[in-house]
Amino acid sequence: MSEESAMHVAYLVAIVAEAMTAALVAGRRGMDWFGVCVIASVTALGGGTVRDVLLSHYPLGWVRHPEYLGYVLVAALSVGVLAPLIVRLRRLFLFLDALGLVVFTVIGCNVAHALSLPLAIVIASGMITGTCGGVLRDLLCGQTPLLFQKELYATVSLITGLVYMGGSQLGVHHGVAMLSAMGLGLILRLLAIRHGWDMPGFAYRGKWD
Amino acid sequence: MSEESAMHVAYLVAIVAEAMTAALVAGRRGMDWFGVCVIASVTALGGGTVRDVLLSHYPLGWVRHPEYLGYVLVAALSVGVLAPLIVRLRRLFLFLDALGLVVFTVIGCNVAHALSLPLAIVIASGMITGTCGGVLRDLLCGQTPLLFQKELYATVSLITGLVYMGGSQLGVHHGVAMLSAMGLGLILRLLAIRHGWDMPGFAYRGKWD
Amino acid sequence: MSEESAMHVAYLVAIVAEAMTAALVAGRRGMDWFGVCVIASVTALGGGTVRDVLLSHYPLGWVRHPEYLGYVLVAALSVGVLAPLIVRLRRLFLFLDALGLVVFTVIGCNVAHALSLPLAIVIASGMITGTCGGVLRDLLCGQTPLLFQKELYATVSLITGLVYMGGSQLGVHHGVAMLSAMGLGLILRLLAIRHGWDMPGFAYRGKWD
């Protein structure tokens, strides 16, 4: 299997897994079937959508490939039947969610790189793709977006992007740089989940507003 | 009156009605005049704006026709005087809101169809146009967006789009397909309001996060 | 120093000041360093980003000039050390925030004017640029956006835009119109902060939803 088609398969696995866990969370908040489908779509496809709108990279992925939207909706609706299975396979889904984070990050870097944007924007594009789906999900669920606060979520995206683009800049073979970055990000994320690692908080608590 | 100008009149009636009811809700939440104008604009014009940004369909409607923004602002400000009337004419405004939902949906389908997008995206474009104004209003008012949860709001948009595009695909005369879809959506929405119909909830309540 | 480079310096001062005060507010809400950086970036650069997406004015400012993102991030991170200083220099920062409001407004008007958009859209573009950063910050912090409710924030942006474009339309020298508008806006905002001026609320409290 070529590098490109392997990434494509990983992307499809990731959006399906993100849609299913988002559907589970939305369903537990008392949303109806329609709300569950909206939350699943926004979580799975929102990061890439925000990135493409900010970079004027049209048409959006799911507009060009409406089958992605189909996969996400089928995955979300299947949660009605599969919820007990997902809960039992919690570890698998946490792994797939971590895989999604690094896959989305690498794809986001690739999109900005192909547009010949500066390195800082390439890294930012990876982070936006990796994290914005979860931020939008939290906003629509009426929660303060906590994703980038917990278990190094955004930090993993940053490190994945830095290692990937750093390796590429230093002339490392593309596939090696990509796999190293994704492997490192994945391990870091899984360790952070296991040990409950957080980023240091911000200490100042003086009076302001 | 031609089909096109009838739709244009219905669109103007819909944005004015949506602006007035949104202004009423915002005013009752203690917003000042400026906040009321923002909420009214976002509710009346936000669905089309989100659609156009996602589909890269520029310039936006209200940028090309700033008079739409003017109608919305005058409608919002008039609520300071007309609020008691709107409350008295509650049924009329619920009817106009339902009309807005089906009109926005059909216009959203038309925009995506004119861009030669796939059928699934045409339906999604109708639903985004019909529902996103209310979602943005709820976010800005600090509420979990409940619109698509209550009284089949989003379901009506989906059915309207499906009947409209399904009819067109089957070779039904355009005006007939459009009027049937809008009529069916309108009746369904009004019945849902009258009888308090909701979509079935999502039953799973097990432990996840 | 030319008019243009003076505006550029004022813009840089404004985004740095907005990033620092936003970082302070975010840090006091218990966000970690990453969250503080996101909130600072969104507050300082979000208004221009929303304007550019709505007007299809690409590439976005911070994509073309990634150094802006760098200034904002350095400013946000420096708050960890400088927080006590910012609190002591509260008046200076309130002044810089007010400066940011009028500078963003004038830049927003200029962008829309350069695109030959109608006058109402030019004014709206100024207001979107001036106020949307704060609205996004409030949404991401889980607060109902109150910015345009308090101390004439949005009203100052409106008046600045009206005086600036009104003066230009009446043939007043460009620099004079700009400085008058910004000076008037700045004074109005500072007076509003000092005296706690609010816009009148919306009185109707009858039953609706």
* Chain C residues whose beta carbon lies within 8 Å of the beta carbon of residue A123: none
User: Which tokens is A146 given?
Assistant: 């906590």
Alpha carbons within 13 A on the beta-carbon side of A126: 32
pLDDT computed for residue B171 by the predictor: 93
Q: State the pLDDT confidence band at C139, using cuts at 50, 70 and 90.
A: confident
- Average pLDDT of span C114-121: 96
Q: Is the confidence at residue B201, as pLDDT, over 80?
A: no
Contact C33 A139 (CB under 8 A): no
Contact B80 C203 (CB under 8 A): yes
User: Closest Cα of chain B to A106: distance in Å?
Assistant: 22
The three-class DSSP label of residue C142 is coil
* Chain A residues whose beta carbon lies within 8 Å of the beta carbon of residue C84: 204, 206
Q: State the pLDDT confidence band at C149, using cuts at 50, 70 and 90.
A: low
The three-point CA angle A149-B50-B15 to 5° equals 130
pLDDT computed for residue A147 by the predictor: 52
Measured N-to-C along each axis, helices B174-195 and B153-169 cross at an angle, to the nearest 10 degrees, of 160
Contact, C43 vs C18, CB < 8 A? yes
- Average pLDDT of span B148-171: 87
How many whole angstroms separate alpha carbon B168 and alpha carbon B29? 43
Contact A54 C63 (CB under 8 A): yes
Q: Backbone dihedral region of C118: left (phi > 0), alpha (psi from -120 to 50 degrees) or beta?
A: beta
Q: State the pLDDT confidence band at C137, using cuts at 50, 70 and 90.
A: confident
| Surface-to-core class of residue A138, CB atoms within 10 Å of its CB (0-12 exposed, 13-18 middle, 19+ buried) | buried
User: Closest Cα of chain C to A169: distance in Å?
Assistant: 18
* Chain C residues whose beta carbon lies within 8 Å of the beta carbon of residue A120: 66, 69-70
pLDDT computed for residue A127 by the predictor: 95
Instruction: Say how far residue A169 (Cα) sits from the centre of its chain.
Output: 24
pLDDT computed for residue B199 by the predictor: 61
| Residue B204 within a domain | no
| Residue A16 within a domain | yes
Contact B87 C207 (CB under 8 A): yes
Dihedral in degrees, nearest 10, Cα atoms C14, C16, C21, C26: 130
Contact C148 B34 (CB under 8 A): yes
- Of residues A139, A145, A208, nearest to C24 (C-beta): A208
Q: Is the confidence at residue C175, as pLDDT, over 80?
A: yes
User: Closest Cα of chain B to A4: distance in Å?
Assistant: 25
Q: What is the mean pLDDT of chain C?
A: 88
Q: What is the mean pLDDT of chain A?
A: 88
From first CA to last CA, the distance across chain C in angstroms is: 57
pLDDT computed for residue C78 by the predictor: 93
User: Of B143-152, C48-57, C192-201, which gets the smallest average pLDDT?
Assistant: B143-152
How large is the C-alpha radius of gyration of chain C?
A: 17
Percentage above 90 pLDDT, chain B: 58
Contact C32 A198 (CB under 8 A): yes
pLDDT computed for residue B142 by the predictor: 76
From chain A, which residues contact B within 8 Å (Cβ)? 21, 23-28, 30-36, 38, 49, 53, 56, 58-60, 62-63, 66, 69-70, 79-80, 83-84, 86-87, 90, 139-142
| Residue A46 within a domain | yes
Q: 């490190």: which residue's tokens?
A: A159
Q: State the pLDDT confidence band at C207, using cuts at 50, 70 and 90.
A: low
Q: How many helices (H) and strands (E) does chain A have?
A: 8, 0
pLDDT computed for residue B204 by the predictor: 52
| Residue A202 within a domain | no
Alpha carbons within 13 A on the beta-carbon side of C98: 25
* Chain C residues whose beta carbon lies within 8 Å of the beta carbon of residue B84: 204, 206
Q: Which chains touch C (3 or more CB pairs under 8 A)?
A: A, B
Helix H segments across chain C?
A: 3-28, 33-55, 61-64, 66-88, 90-114, 119-140, 153-169, 174-195
Instruction: Say how far residue A197 (Cα) sits from the centre of its chain.
Output: 19
Q: Could you tell me the CA-to-CA distances from A2 to A6, A99, A123, A175 in Å, in that order?
A: 6, 19, 24, 10
How does pLDDT run across B86-118, given as a tens digit for each residue? 888 888 888 888 899 999 999 999 999 999 999
Q: Which residues contact C200 (CB under 8 A, 6 or more apart)?
A: B32, B33
Residue of chain B with shortest Cα separation from C209? B25
From chain C, which residues contact B within 8 Å (Cβ)? 53-56, 117-118, 120-121, 124, 135, 139, 143-145, 148-149, 154-155, 198-209
Contact B34 C207 (CB under 8 A): no
Q: Is the confidence at residue B131, as pLDDT, over 80?
A: yes
| Residue B202 within a domain | no
Q: 């391990």: which residue's tokens?
A: A187
Length of chain B: 209
What domain range is A140 assigned to?
Answer: 3-195
> What φ, ψ does residue C143 adopt, rounded to 5°?
-110, 150
The three-class DSSP label of residue A38 is helix
C117 vs A94, higher pLDDT: C117
A contact test, residue of B147, B202, B207, B208 with most A CBs within 10 A: B202
- Average pLDDT of span B9-20: 92
- Of residues C145, C199, C203, nearest to B140 (C-beta): C145
Total structural domains in chain B? 1
Contact, A161 vs A127, CB < 8 A? yes
Give the DSSP letter of residue B198: -
- Average pLDDT of span C95-101: 89
How many whole angstroms separate alpha carbon A54 and alpha carbon A105? 16
Q: Is the peptide bond before B59 cis (omega within 30 degrees of 0)?
A: yes
Contact A148 C25 (CB under 8 A): no
For residue A156, give the nearest of A208, A205, A94 by alpha carbon. A94
pLDDT computed for residue B60 by the predictor: 97
Q: Is the confidence at residue C148, as pLDDT, over 60?
A: no
Give the DSSP letter of residue C149: G
Count Cβ neighbours within 10 Å for each residue of C118-132 and write b for 16 or more, e otherwise: ebbbbbbbbbbbbbb
- Average pLDDT of span B114-135: 95
User: Of A76-80, B136-140, C89-93, C145-149, which gets the smallest average pLDDT?
Assistant: C145-149
- Average pLDDT of span C3-24: 90
| Residue A87 within a domain | yes
> What φ, ψ does residue B32 adopt, rounded to 5°?
-85, 180
How many whole angstroms separate alpha carbon A145 and alpha carbon B138? 17
For residue C135, give the nearest of B136, B22, B68, B69 by alpha carbon. B136
Q: Is the confidence at residue A40, as pLDDT, over 90?
A: yes
Alpha carbons within 13 A on the beta-carbon side of B134: 22
From first CA to last CA, the distance across chain B in angstroms is: 57
- Of residues A124, A201, A206, nearest to C87 (C-beta): A206
* Chain B residues whose beta carbon lies within 8 Å of the beta carbon of residue C117: 63
pLDDT computed for residue A72 by the predictor: 97
Contact C33 A148 (CB under 8 A): no
- Of residues B120, B143, B204, nearest to A83 (C-beta): B204
User: Of A8-12, A137-141, A149-153, B166-170, which gets the smallest average pLDDT?
Assistant: A149-153
* Chain A residues whose beta carbon lies within 8 Å of the beta carbon of residue C92: none
A54 vs B83, higher pLDDT: A54
- Average pLDDT of span C187-206: 73
| Residue A205 within a domain | no
Q: Which residues contact A91 (CB under 8 A, 6 or more apart)?
A: none
* Chain B residues whose beta carbon lies within 8 Å of the beta carbon of residue A139: 139
Q: Is the confidence at residue C84, as pLDDT, over 80?
A: yes
Contact C202 B84 (CB under 8 A): no
* Chain A residues whose beta carbon lies within 8 Å of the beta carbon of residue C93: none
User: Of A120-124, C126-130, C194-198, which gets the smallest average pLDDT?
Assistant: C194-198
| Surface-to-core class of residue B166, CB atoms within 10 Å of its CB (0-12 exposed, 13-18 middle, 19+ buried) | middle
User: Closest Cα of chain A to B85: distance in Å?
Assistant: 33
User: Which tokens is B180 given?
Assistant: 């049937």
Give me the sign of the Cα torsion angle B73, B79, B85, B90.
positive
A136 vs B3, higher pLDDT: A136
* Chain B residues whose beta carbon lies within 8 Å of the beta carbon of residue A24: 204, 208
The three-point CA angle A30-B138-B60 to 5° equals 125
How many whole angstroms separate alpha carbon B16 and alpha carbon A33? 31
How does pLDDT run across B59-70, given as a tens digit for each residue? 999 999 999 999
> What φ, ψ does residue A77 adopt, rounded to 5°?
-70, -30
The three-class DSSP label of residue C199 is coil
| Residue B99 within a domain | yes
Q: Is the confidence at residue A202, as pLDDT, over 60?
A: no
- Average pLDDT of span A97-103: 91
C154 vs C129, higher pLDDT: C129
